[in-house]
Amino acid sequence: MRTSWADAAENAATGSFDNARSNGGSERSSAPTKSSYVPPHLRNRPPPSEPPAPSLGGPPPGNDRSGYGGPTSGADSEHAFSDENTGINFDAYEDIPVETNGDNVPPPVNTFAEIDLGDALNLNIRRCKYVKPTPVQRYTIPISLAGRDLMACAQTGSGKTAAFCFPIISGIMQGHLPQRPRGSRTVFPLALILSPTRELSVQIHEEAKKFAYQTGVRAVVVYGGAPINQQLRELERGVEILVATPGRLVDLLERAKVSLQMIRYLALDEADRMLDMGFEPQIRKIVEQMDMPPPGERQTMLFSATFPREIQRMASDFLSNYIFLTVGRVGSSTDLIVQRVEYVHESDKRSHLMDLLHAQRANGVQGKQALTLVFVETKKGADSLEHWLCLNGFPATTIHGDRTQQEREMALRSFKSGNTPILVATDVAARGLDIPHVAHVINFDLPNDIDDYVHRIGRTGRAGKTGLATAFFNENNMSMAKSLGDLMQEANQEVPDWLTRFASRASYGGGKSRRGGGHFGSRDFRRDSSFNRGSSGNDYYGGGSSGGYGSYGGGNGPGATSAWD
């Protein structure tokens, strides 16, 4: 058992599942390889090619908006452009099925050069070493540049952030900007990007700053748990793109420090999360009850890897004649991630985790622990597991809603740097965080909702890289048996027989799935013949008695809101 974990973790870290596979399974027969299946990223793998090196030493790029008097800061410096994307194998995404639905869908592009994003942004894209657009970017960017509203669903780690940032920055750079009132202390951003967690907002802001470097477009972030005065000072220096968590933004709107009157672009990242029970009232307040222009007068873009039908229905309130885009199936996990599920009794979880970590360390490069993200159900559970890991010689830290913002940020930094290579987290870290080199995601406690599982495991296997995800399963997770088995099967993973047996015994749904039963949400809910805004209609997703928003009882309900902003 230990050997197989070691192999799996090592392979995930080095991206060499193909090697394991080519051993014919003789030495590594228990490794999580799929004997006949070859994931897309390993098929016809081309020789590694160096992306063209951007010239960083030249003169600053011309600003496409000559005469625009806005601030010129973007990324703090060119050092903000890292080498992370060098050599990424984006062929991994080539054969992912893409579906669009809506009127007059603009055609996709194959290269960034085909789109007029503006010189300064194009240069930044090269500086980021983005050689070609990912599928979600190929479709989304022309749709957004055509001024269309969009609901986009694409797998974790597939580049959704750039997909909404590029058109926003380009639109602001090249658009005819409205005159914004001057003199008052209220600020009037042109674009608003909302995300559910502080850390994700910070990350989106970092990305937006890089993309907007020397474009004249200034991005500012506001989020809870950090001093508001500092954020006010940043706002007063000028803001075109405001990245925010809902709570802090409502505060600023109520104090009339921010007006949404001039908003031209609204993007909701993790849109299904933003519209579920925890956040919906705040989002409605921001979008519908303040001074933001209505749908049709602003451009609205919603992004997530998961989009339950009821959330789609609700989201349509915010959109006007929108295009629905799916890259892969809605809510599917990427098959860059090797998924394993282990039957582990509640009382054995710690020792089992210890076995995994020992094996992983033994096989790590120079005995180093690969970055491992361990998800648990509760904040208390996170603290106690962290303590226990540290006592047992595994440097760990934790991120959850009871920690101060400073502690949360420190934990993330320490994890990213490898100083504490194990991060124990609640769902606060489940969505959006793009941490390079996470080799292994362990669901120590499985979530109650398969969509949450998809987001959690999506912290590995990003941007064309491979990853490993392990789930501990026992009778407490019966309600997940079928959806987990289905998801794994869909992602061409090996589903253990015992899980299939549990699934057939479990009454599917278990009252906790937003997805409902039978089919995964694979399409635009408007195509459902039963779609009728005035009636509840039949559930396309069929099966479960519990499907649907109203009955959602997953980990994000009111009891867990403190884990979020």
Ligand X SMILES: Nc1ncnc2c1ncn2[C@@H]1O[C@H](COP(=O)(O)OP(=O)(O)OP(=O)(O)O)[C@@H](O)[C@H]1O
Binding site for ligand X (CB under 6 A): 84-85, 88, 90, 130, 133-134, 137, 154, 156-162, 305, 432, 434, 458, 462-463
**Which CB sits closer to ligand X, 204 or 506?**
204
Placement of tokens 């937003």 in the chain: 514
Residue 67, Cβ density class (10 Å: 0-12 exposed, 13-18 middle, ≥19 buried): exposed
Nearer to ligand X (CB atom), residue 434 or residue 524: 434
Shortest CB 9 distance to ligand X, Å: 21
Quote the least distance from Cβ 376 to ligand X, whole Å. Answer: 20
Chain CA centroid to CA 469, Å: 16
CB of 488 to ligand X, least distance (A): 19
Q: Please report how close the Cβ of residue 487 comes to ligand X at its closest, in angstroms.
A: 15
Query: Cβ 439 to ligand X, closest distance in Å?
Result: 15
Nearer Cβ to ligand X, position 134 or 363? 134
Q: What is the token pair recorded at 463?
A: 């941007």
Nearer to ligand X, 154 or 319 (CB): 154
Distance of closest approach, residue 494 Cβ to ligand X, in angstroms: 24
Extract the tokens encoding 562.
């403190």
Instruction: List, edge to edge, every strand of the sheet that includes 467-473.
Output: 337-343, 467-473, 438-443, 371-375, 422-425, 396-399
Residue whose CB is less far from ligand X, 434 or 449? 434
Nearer to ligand X, 220 or 463 (CB): 463
Could you give the count of Cα atoms lying within 13 Å of 73 in the half-sphere of its Cβ? 11
Q: Which residues contact 402 (CB under 8 A, 6 or more apart)?
A: 379, 383, 562
Report the nearest approach of ligand X to the CB of residue 407 (Å). Answer: 23
Q: Which residues contact 361 (CB under 8 A, 6 or more apart)?
A: 367, 368, 369
Q: Which is nearer to ligand X, 154 or 382 (CB)?
A: 154
Nearer CB in complex with ligand X: 164/508: 164
Gyration radius (Cα) of the chain, Å: 23
Burial of 532 (0-12, 13-18, 19+ CB in 10 A): exposed
* 163 to 153, 160, 176, 243, 563: CA distances (angstroms): 11, 5, 22, 15, 27
DSSP code per residue over 498-511: HHHHHHHHS-TTTT
- DSSP structure string for 159-223: -HHHHHHHHHHHHHHHS-PPPPP-SSS-B--SEEEE-SSHHHHHHHHHHHHHHTTTTT--EEEE-
Closest distance of CB 150 from ligand X, Å: 14
Task: Decide whether 157 or 509 has the Cβ nearer to ligand X.
Answer: 157
- Nearest approach, Cβ of 520 to ligand X (angstroms)? 16
**Judged by CB, which is closer to ligand X: 7, or 434?**
434
H or E element in which residue 245 lies: none
> Considering beta carbons, is residue 159 or 216 the nearer one to ligand X?
159
CB of 137: closest distance to ligand X in angstroms? 6
Q: Which two three-digit tokens encode residue 83? A: 């080498």
Tokens matching residue 561: 């809101």
CA nearest 158: which of 172, 138, 185, 174? 138
Residue 408: Cβ within 10 Å count? 23
Burial of 484 (0-12, 13-18, 19+ CB in 10 A): buried
- Token code pair at residue 100: 């669009």
Type of residue at 374: V
What span, in angstroms and rounded, lies between the C-alpha atoms of 107 and 95?
A: 17
From 263, 434, 254, 446, select the one nearest 346 (Cα to Cα): 446
Pairing of strands 150-154, 323-327: parallel
3-state secondary structure of 431: coil
State the minimum distance, in angstroms, from the CB of residue 82 to ligand X.
9
Q: In angstroms, give the least distance from the CB of 306 to ligand X.
A: 9
Nearer CB in complex with ligand X: 196/517: 196
Q: How many CB atoms lie within 10 A of CB 256?
A: 10
